[in-house]
Amino acid sequence: MRYRLVIFDWDGTLMDSAARIVSSMQAAARDAGWGHLEAAAVRDIIGLGLPEAIDRLCPGIDAERFELLRSRYVHYFVEADGTPMAFFDGVESGIATLRERHERRLAVATGKSRRGLDRVFRESDSGSWFHASRTADETRSKPHPQMLEELLVELGMPVEEAVMVGDTEYDLEMARALGMDRVAVTWGVHDPGRLAASRPVYTAGTVGELFDWLNRE
């Protein structure tokens, strides 16, 4: 078995949620009086923790407006924005094939909050798929490698037996900083050229390609 631990990013890698993130952030910025945020700019920060994302999107924002924008984003994303979200086609069956190997561990490392990840676990009935998870409000945000370090310790895995799968340079650079193998997926928010700069060991163009590669001996 090539890897005993496979760590997945969530948004843009397993779940097609970018459109809701973009529309929710744009609405929140308008409510906070910041003005219009370009969709491309919002897509670029997907994967970061929410505070880091707001700081990058709204440089120089004051504390009061920051908090308003943050709270309005949560409101839109959780309650008011009806933009649909679903797993990318093939994700559920692909995870099932990985889970058939009982000695393999699966984990999530995400820019979501713990509350947000637990909510989507419940809504998608997917929490039982994973042996561990880390969120940006529990540890340092990507691309700092702390969440990966903590997952390795929790699951008792050496870095050489783990791989990080993600759709952004934040995912890949987080793994690269730790010397962990990394796989890029091209159906998410960062383009293949940008992902290639992080020197992934493999780049998957489809969900099927990803899980075929992960299941190779």
User: Could you tell me if 41 and 102 lie in one domain?
Assistant: no
User: Could you tell me if 11 and 24 lie in one domain?
Assistant: no
> 207-214 and 91-99 are packed helices; what angle lies between their axes, rounded to 10 degrees?
10
Start-end of H helices in 38-112: 39-45, 50-57, 63-75, 91-99
User: Could you tell me if 61 and 92 lie in one domain?
Assistant: no
User: Could you tell me if 37 and 65 lie in one domain?
Assistant: yes
User: Would you call 31 a catalytic residue per the annotation?
Assistant: no
Q: Output phi, psi for 84, to 5 deg.
A: -70, 150
User: Could you tell me if 116 and 9 lie in one domain?
Assistant: yes
User: Could you tell me if 200 and 103 lie in one domain?
Assistant: yes
User: Could you tell me if 125 and 186 lie in one domain?
Assistant: yes
Boundary of a domain, candidates 29, 53, 80? 80
Give the range of the structural domain holding residue 148, as residue numbers without chain letter. 5-16+85-214
Q: What is the mean pLDDT of residues 49-63?
A: 94
Task: Give the span between the Cα atoms of 102 and 210, in whole angstroms.
Answer: 19
* pLDDT tens-digit readout, 162-212: 999 999 999 999 999 999 999 999 999 999 999 999 999 999 999 999 999
End-to-end Cα distance, the chain: 5
123: domain CATH number is 3.40.50.1000
User: Would you call 11 a catalytic residue per the annotation?
Assistant: yes
User: Could you tell me if 12 and 38 lie in one domain?
Assistant: no
From the candidates 9, 16, 44, 171, which is the catalytic residue? 9
10 Å Cβ neighbour count for 89? Answer: 13
How high is the pLDDT of residue 81?
A: 66
Longest dimension (CA), the chain: 53
* pLDDT tens-digit readout, 65-108: 999 999 999 999 888 767 778 999 999 999 999 998 878 999 99
**Reduced DSSP (H G I as helix, E B as strand, rest coil) percent helix, strand, coil of the chain, to 5:** 50, 15, 35
* Bridge partner residues of 6 (DSSP): 106, 163
Distance of CA 39 to the CA centre of its chain: 18
Q: pLDDT grade, residue 217 (50/70/90)?
A: low
192: left (phi over 0), alpha (psi -120 to 50) or beta: alpha
User: Could you tell me if 62 and 109 lie in one domain?
Assistant: no
10 Å Cβ neighbour count for 153? Answer: 10
User: Could you tell me if 11 and 65 lie in one domain?
Assistant: no
52: domain CATH number is 1.10.150.240
* CA neighbours closer than 13 Å in the CB half-sphere of residue 146: 10
User: Could you tell me if 30 and 10 lie in one domain?
Assistant: no
Q: What is the mean pLDDT of residues 5-34?
A: 95
User: Could you tell me if 31 and 105 lie in one domain?
Assistant: no
* pLDDT tens-digit readout, 103-159: 899 999 999 989 889 989 998 999 999 999 999 999 999 999 999 999 999 999 999
- pTM for the predicted model, two decimal places: 0.92
The residue behind tokens 């649909």 is 84
